[in-house]
Structure 1
């Protein structure tokens, strides 16, 4: 967030520090400069708060769009559409649990889960490309943990393609470990899990 503000119309914290340092050396009016910088930053529009809610059947088309946008970048790498891109989401929304993330009025991400007897399975997590890097994926994964714990499950499992390096790094960052790797459809499928209780 700070980097965006530093390159946009406002000032970053570093800008404020440099200006204050300059005024401390007699290069300006300290109080006036501070007030101008604070007022300019407080006048900047803030990013909409992300909110999560259960998906409905009416969300199926938007879910499909987000999934296709999120996975398109992997097509040249693996030579085909990843499996989530060919799912019938009209049907999936009725069979599995989906939670969708909104930023303002925009659907920016989703997580699809399936509750099993001894674990929660994450079938899919996807975030719009332009919204990646904002922590939405991590928030969706935390939401899945809360869902699992609420249902009395202490383990979460998932799989991903070994070629999806940014996904793997995210999952490892939030505590998932690789259980096994298996050849699949000309690539490698990575099975991962996380103990949460």
Structure 2
């Protein structure tokens, strides 16, 4: 089950994000943006959803005409169990609930396994830009 995160989940959310993104920091050579996000603010805004057993999370931000998938993070010891796919399927259902016809996300160009997963799930690359020393891939999925 996936539920809206609660204030008491904050320490676990921050731990999951730190653990999930640390290997990418080494590959990219810079801390990925999600490592420095304000999760207390995301929680207060109602944007964080967690697997009820706190093995993973997704941050979803409604925008004009699209649901922005700001972050998907799964505990590293839980990779390979389809939890990321489950969270992304939840994002699609959430977008439909909100009457939003598409999802969008951004990721680092060096995160090739993630890009491949998103493409398998129907996301397409819309643009690639150099931002703040990073090569950022913008992706979108129409529902």
TM over 0.5: yes
State the Cα distance separating 1:95 from its structure 2 match.
2.2
1-side partners of 2:41 and 2:89: how far apart? 25
Which residue, 137, 140, 151 being the options, matches 2:98? Answer: 151
How many residue pairs match? The answer is 143
C-alpha distance in 2 between matches for 1:125 and 1:81: 16
- CA contact 2:4–2:46 (8 Å) conserved in 1: no
1:183 equivalent to 2:118? Answer no
Higher helix share: 1
Greater share of strand: 2
Aligned position for 1:79: 29
Query: Structure 1 segments of 4 or more deviating over 6 A?
Result: none
List runs of 5+ in structure 1 lacking aligned partners.
Answer: 1-50
CA contact (8 A) 1:183 1:189 kept: yes
Larger relative contact order (C-alpha < 8 A, sep ≥ 6)?
A: 2
Q: CA deviation at 1:96?
A: 4.4
Bigger radius of gyration: 1
Per the TM alignment, residue 148 of structure 1 is displaced from its structure 2 partner at its CA by: 0.4
